[in-house]
Amino acid sequence: MTGDVHPVGRVDQLARQLLTERGPQELLDRAVAFTAGGLDAASSVSISLVDKRRRISTAAASNDLARTADELQYRLGEGPCLDAVWDPGAVHCRDLDADPRWPRWAPAATVDLEVHSTLSIPLSTHERTLGSINVYARARDAFDPSAVALAGSLATHTAVAYARALDRHDLETALASRNLIGQAQGILMERYRITAGRAFEVLATASQQSNTKLVEVARRVVDTGVTPPVTRT
């Protein structure tokens, strides 16, 4: 481990640092940097995330090595980060040259990227698996049991903090959208002398007819003052 900080202390440090990050992306970047600095053997670290369509992509990486190793797995459909996501559990490989689990990815990783050992830990909460944190090393047998345990603890704190950050971001977005729609309603009510309910119907109709999100129609009204036509009923 880097420095003289006890593993428990490093987990506490990460937990405190993650609490200071408000944006989901900033939180992921901080977790990657912290993990890369906390595991001496790590040559590169990344975080893979699963979207609502069950597509996996790399959301943060300490350098291009991890990003390339991840992308190779997505393209070939096999590899440790995919296993950690789809069958949640730590995936530890001590020597890629001797591991039969990924017959296409492993040879490419060892020859092209000079990666010889890996560690992928799922980012999971009680409700869902968000993705995985992936650690790549050029040395063989780079991660001893204490490193595996530390990575697991860091992944747990990252998953919980990221889930909370997403919930907070979604709430803030919803509140901002509601406020914007309310402002647009107010403009329509004053301009056309209509009720709040009728103003909302005007916005909703304009949204449907233009195939534009309701909040974007409202934003256009607030930002430009151009309002949809009102058909009197």
CATH of domain 7-168: 3.30.450.40
Distance CA 88, CA 55 (A): 16
CA dist., res. 7 & res. 22, Å (int): 25
- Fold of domain 171-224: Arc Repressor Mutant, subunit A (1.10.10)
pTM of the model: 0.75
Give, for all 233 residues of the chain, the pLDDT tens digit: 444 555 556 666 666 666 665 688 998 999 999 899 889 899 999 999 999 899 999 999 999 999 999 999 999 999 999 999 998 789 999 999 999 999 999 999 999 999 999 999 999 988 889 999 999 999 999 999 999 999 998 898 899 889 888 888 777 788 889 999 999 999 999 999 999 999 999 999 999 888 989 989 999 999 998 888 776 55
pLDDT, one tens digit per residue, over 46-101 is 999 999 899 999 999 999 999 999 999 999 999 999 999 998 789 999 999 999 99
Is the distance from CB of 180 to CB of 218 less than 8 angstroms?
Answer: yes
Q: 58 and 66 in contact (C-beta within 8 Å)?
A: yes
d(CA 213, CA 126): 32
Output the pLDDT for position 114: 97
Q: In degrees rounded to 5, what are phi and psi of residue 45?
A: -135, 145
Domain boundaries, the chain: 7-168, 171-224
What are the pLDDT digits (tens) for 167-178? 887 777 888 899
DSSP 208: H
